Homo-oligomer: A and B are copies of this chain.
């Protein structure tokens, strides 16, 4: 008998009918002899509706109250799923994140889990109940206020619960049936992967794959929780994320997949006087604005002793970053701040590139062959990423996928969804 944690995303819980189907799935898992804990996101549109209501009463709502408001969504969905389970022949209790012992930092809207003490969940399981736990939320250790966990919060809740309960697996169920060698909507012969080691999944998530959130994969790796990515609409086994690349014999390590990311923009500060401290000043100003930077490129300075500094960041932070840099113009005496939001990032991930020289060459040749120019290149031990024109992203993904022969024979089944 196994202990299974399942997480269902918002589109799998969009209305009463889907909730009933999810309940059937959960009851079947229980009747197969497992202890079952389920984490539900809010129903499809609920969070957006609540955000809209909030904006109507206050364009800049206090964060504490935003967390009180949004957590109502998960409360509703988990209670409804518990009710549906009861109508399908099993019994269930729903719990808020706080009731389930999810203790967090005090940062509203982006709290981190400090600890999970799920005694009420364990008690429910011991009494033969299925336990529902509201995702995306917890209670602050310091203030005892309710907090939300930021992006991917429900995935993180599920993995953290699985770790605390010593679960055998944490299943993430959505409208995709696994992790593919590339986005099947771009690459029709993308192949579903059976298994992916943690480090590769981390790179895929950081490179634009939306199926699993980076934080939940980090958590799973740290505590050794196997994650299974499956469809909530079928019984297919999905993709298992587990194990380390260190456990794979060097000669068997492969190239795993291609990820792409349209969410970044590029900023170039031109004509920066090439003296010690200029770059540090620029990056400190960006960091103080709480903006994360991804890829960086600094050119060799020209004959006038000036250089260009380029970096990428999330489009959402673009305007704020530009504003902060403009304020530095006089102090640093640079020429201009250029903003370019028509860039895209494509990445190749695989432990195999550690032991296969020539991967970088093959990668760049594949792009050159389809006329894609590389603007910035950035690598790790198991990943190559390049910044290109976003209009060329689809071509680039397909070219790399073909060059490394990642495709399968059958056409991928493409759902309307994107992993939510």
Residues of A within 8 A of B (CB): 16, 19-20, 23, 50, 53-54, 56-62, 64-66, 68-69, 71-73, 75-76, 78-84, 86-87, 91-94, 99, 120, 144
Contact B83 A57 (CB under 8 A): yes
Question: Which residues on the B side are within 8 Å of A66 (C-beta)?
Answer: 79, 83
Smallest Cβ distance from A367 to chain B, in angstroms?
Answer: 49
Contact A79 B93 (CB under 8 A): no
Known pairs A72-B73, A72-B75, A72-B79 / 17 extra A-B pairs, C-beta < 8 Å: A54-B80, A57-B84, A58-B86, A61-B83, A62-B91, A64-B93, A65-B79, A66-B79, A66-B83, A68-B79, A68-B94, A69-B75, A69-B76, A69-B80, A72-B72, A72-B76, A120-B144
Say whether, besides A50-B76, A80-B53, A87 and B68 are in contact (CB < 8 Å).
Answer: no
Residue of B nearest to A67 (CB): B79
A16, A58, A84, A91 pick with most chain B CB within 10 angstroms: A58
A73, A82, A93 pick with most chain B CB within 10 angstroms: A82
> In whole angstroms, how far apart are the Cα atoms of A144 and B72 in the complex?
19
How many identical subunits does the complex contain? 2
22 contacts between A and B (CB under 8 A): A16-B57, A20-B57, A23-B57, A54-B79, A57-B83, A59-B87, A61-B86, A62-B82, A62-B86, A65-B80, A65-B82, A65-B83, A65-B93, A68-B78, A69-B75, A69-B79, A71-B75, A72-B73, A72-B75, A72-B76, A75-B75, A120-B144
A19, A59, A62, A86 pick with most chain B CB within 10 angstroms: A62
Contact B71 A83 (CB under 8 A): no
Question: Which residues on the B side are within 8 Å of A87 (C-beta)?
Answer: 57-60
Smallest Cβ distance from A91 to chain B, in angstroms?
Answer: 8
Smallest Cβ distance from A19 to chain B, in angstroms?
Answer: 5
Question: Which residues on the B side are within 8 Å of A83 (C-beta)?
Answer: 54, 57-58, 61-62, 65-66, 69
Residue of B nearest to A43 (CB): B53
> In whole angstroms, how far apart are the Cα atoms of A93 and B146 in the complex?
12
Which 5 pairs from chain A and chain B are nearest by CB? A16-B56, A69-B79, A58-B87, A68-B79, A57-B84
Residue of B nearest to A86 (CB): B62
Residue of B nearest to A17 (CB): B56
Question: Which residues on the B side are within 8 Å of A61 (C-beta)?
Answer: 83, 86
Smallest Cβ distance from A74 to chain B, in angstroms?
Answer: 9
Question: Which residues on the B side are within 8 Å of A50 (C-beta)?
Answer: 76
Contact B57 A80 (CB under 8 A): yes
The one of B53, B73, B80, B81 in contact with A16, judged by C-beta atoms closer than 8 angstroms, is B53
Smallest Cβ distance from A80 to chain B, in angstroms?
Answer: 5
Question: Which residues on the B side are within 8 Å of A69 (C-beta)?
Answer: 75-76, 79-80, 83
> In whole angstroms, how far apart are the Cα atoms of A23 and B62 in the complex?
15
Smallest Cβ distance from A61 to chain B, in angstroms?
Answer: 4
